[in-house]
Amino acid sequence: MALVEVKVPDIGDFNEVAVIELLVKVGDTVKAEQSLITVESDKASMEIPSSTAGVVKELRVKLGDKVKQGSVVLMVEAAGDVAAPASAPAVVSAPAAAQAVALPAAASSAVASVATGPVEVHVPDIGDFKDVAVIEIFVKPGDAIRMEQSLITVESDKAAMEIPSSAAGVLKELKVKIGDKINIGDLLAILEGSVAALALVAPSVAIAAPVVSSLPATSPASALAQVALAAPAHNPGSPTLGLPHASPSVRKFARELGVPLEEVKGNGPKGRISQDDVQAFTKSVMAGATQTKAQAAKAPAGGDGAALGLIPWPKVDFAKFGPIERKEMGRIKKISGANLLRNAIMIPAVTNHDDADITELEAFRVSTNKENEKSGIKVTMLAFLIKACVAALKKYPEFNSSLDGDALVYKNYWHIGFAADTPNGLMVPVIRDADKKGILQISQEMGELAKKARDGKLSPAEMTGATFTISSLGGIGGKYFTPIINAPEVAILGVCKSTYEPVWDGKQFVPRLMLPLSLTWDHRVIDGAAAARFNAYLGQILGDFRRVLL
Ligand code: CAO
């Protein structure tokens, strides 16, 4: 078996195009015509195919390298049926058919004439390629079209190209739609207005597509067509198109997965989207961290359940049963609704209910408030709860963690969020570094943050970074409830109104002030026993704060 060089075939006038993707690695078995690398000029991206079948023994290029016709891409141990040329070195050159020529610069500006009225724009000579699919449409009726402006992108299995307009004017009618298969001569569009017609315009590319190199180039026209088919997947420099910048294979990959490429952030040079970017986007959508625009449009705060395969949400004409008034939900309610829905659906949440004896603590709170009357700072039970929770979070650190894929992120800071009821809806301001602050400071900050929340003046920084949240309905009433975890936190404490209860002290029932606690926790991270211990410890601290010192 011969070791052969696979070289960059004739890629027209383009010199020194950058390698932007390596599509194979050492050890891979490649077929003849299989794409090996993607190269890119400032206007076009193209895949370079293998001229032979075999096993890749060595890669001679790396990302960022500049290549031109004749550059060795890799060394292949040719398959038995592929004979290397007898003469050494065993070079497999580009097929003869790859003698594509670059579009003469003059061609695009020649043969122009001035006309008015309807002008038909047809698919120019795109070589032997037949039935190439329309994958993108850049224009719509009413758009003012410039000469040479890209109208659509078509794609074969290995190359993507933009088809430019052969005339200027206002687009009256587009004759193709996404998915249509087109051929040379097909009517693409009808323009109207003052137009400068061009008799022959090849697609606006100046880089020959090696992917068509196996097709016989029988005439200058088809050679030109090969140039044409080398068209760019995207013109990264063009501000007018605003298209995602990605190579044909990445586009194909994205289409196969149903990924909207325009929503993917490219991390390559000039924002180019790589296969890794598409994969990362897909993972993020699957994990629920990202929503595509289509998903967002389909699933407002209420959601219709279709994405979960549920039966449709009941649609009832309430007016049939009595007078109604319809009011759009406010922005905050919509945002928090969407978050609550996701958290309720995605987190296997369990709630433990317990009671804490706060008789002595309440007495201390009342006396503290008396002593501090002049300071203007009012201490409520919530400030003690924040402090007590920090102690419990330190003792049971998984309650202060977040899930990141298969890993747990333990946070060595204790920022406690508290739910605040505001006229605009529920908000969760955050007391930062609650472990470093005393009860008075926490009470003061809580008062300020709660006021800001009610006035709609909380900054994003004041609502982010919490490691655990407390939702207190103690000032209102109720006994127990099941709060929803504020992802990516893994637990939340719900607190209701304390009441005097008869508690057995071993000899008799005595009146004790009992605080109802409801701890909701993420069962992926926390076990039931740990949750019971957390609540029990919290109860002990609230019963006797001196335990924090132990
Ligand atoms: N048991 C008994 N009384 C309690 C109590 C409890 N657990 N917690 C607070 N109280 C008392 C306070 O001592 C205060 O009494 P006084 O008026 O006699 O002094 C009164 O209830 C009102 O307290 P508060 O609500 O103003 O203060 P807070 O620190 O307890 O709470 C805040 C502040 C912003 C959290 C609260 O105003 C609030 O918005 N709570 C609602 C939170 C919420 O909506 N949660 C639900 C989220 S899930 O939808």
Going from the Cα of 477 to the center of ligand 1, the distance in angstroms, rounded, reads 9
pLDDT recorded at residue 217 = 28
pLDDT recorded at residue 127 = 65
Tens of pLDDT, residues 275-309: 889 988 888 887 767 778 777 665 555 566 777 78
Mutation to probe ligand 1, out of 472, 498, 513 (largest number of atoms < 8 A from CB): 472
Residue 420 CB less than 6 A away from ligand 1: yes
Residue 381 CB less than 6 A away from ligand 1: yes
Question: What residues contact residue 321 under an 8 Å CB cut-off, 6+ apart?
Answer: none
Give me the mean pLDDT over the 330-339 stretch: 89
pLDDT recorded at residue 335 = 87
- List the Cα angle 216/220/226 in 5-degree steps: 55
pLDDT band at 128 (very low <50, low <70, confident <90, very high): low
pLDDT recorded at residue 420 = 96
Q: Is the peptide bond before 89 cis (omega within 30 degrees of 0)?
A: yes
Going from the Cα of 496 to the center of ligand 1, the distance in angstroms, rounded, reads 9
Residue 356 CB less than 6 A away from ligand 1: no
In contact, 429 and 418? CB cutoff 8 Å: yes
Residue 458 CB less than 6 A away from ligand 1: no
Residue 483 CB less than 6 A away from ligand 1: yes
Atom of ligand 1 nearest to the CA of 420: 39
pLDDT recorded at residue 48 = 85
Task: Indicate the range of 64-68, 319-323, 431-435 predicted with least confidence.
Answer: 64-68
Does 383 score more than 90 pLDDT? yes
Tens of pLDDT, residues 176-234: 998 899 988 899 999 987 544 333 333 433 223 333 222 232 233 332 222 222 333 33
**Which of 184-193, 239-248, 251-260, 515-524 is most confident?**
515-524
Indicate the pairing of strand 468-472 with strand 491-495.
parallel
Nearest-10 crossing angle of helices 359-371, 528-543:
50
Going from the Cα of 476 to the center of ligand 1, the distance in angstroms, rounded, reads 6
Task: Indicate the range of 75-84, 399-408, 510-519 predicted with least confidence.
Answer: 75-84
Going from the Cα of 529 to the center of ligand 1, the distance in angstroms, rounded, reads 29
pLDDT band at 262 (very low <50, low <70, confident <90, very high): confident
* Half-sphere exposure (Cβ direction) of 237: Cα atoms closer than 13 Å: 6
pLDDT recorded at residue 205 = 34
Can you list the positions of beta strands (E) in 411-467? 416-418, 420-422, 425-427, 430-431
Q: Work out the number of other CB atoms within 10 angstroms of the CB of residue 170.
A: 15
Mutation to probe ligand 1, out of 332, 357, 372, 382 (largest number of atoms < 8 A from CB): 382
Going from the Cα of 527 to the center of ligand 1, the distance in angstroms, rounded, reads 29
How many Å apart are CA 9 and CA 67, to the nearest integer?
Answer: 10
In contact, 429 and 462? CB cutoff 8 Å: yes
Residue 426 CB less than 6 A away from ligand 1: yes
Tens of pLDDT, residues 142-178: 888 988 788 888 777 666 677 888 888 899 999 999 8
Q: Is 523 a catalytic residue?
A: yes
Can you list the positions of beta strands (E) in 457-508? 468-472, 491-495, 499-504
Q: Is the dihedral of CA 359, 361, 362, 368 positive or negative?
A: positive
Does 462 score more than 60 pLDDT? yes
Task: Indicate the range of 136-140, 234-238, 247-251 predicted with least confidence.
Answer: 234-238
pLDDT recorded at residue 480 = 97
Write out the two tokens for 505. Answer: 């002290």
How many Å apart are CA 403 and CA 240, to the nearest integer?
Answer: 42
Residue 362 CB less than 6 A away from ligand 1: no
Residue 418 CB less than 6 A away from ligand 1: yes
- Which is catalytic among the residues 122, 353, 415, 523? 523
The protein residue whose alpha carbon is closest to atom 46 in ligand 1 is: 471
Tens of pLDDT, residues 475-496: 999 999 999 999 999 999 999 9
Does 239 score more than 50 pLDDT? no
Residue 382 CB less than 6 A away from ligand 1: yes
pLDDT recorded at residue 243 = 53
pLDDT > 70: what percent of the chain? 79
Going from the Cα of 475 to the center of ligand 1, the distance in angstroms, rounded, reads 3
Distance, first Cα to last Cα, the chain: 76
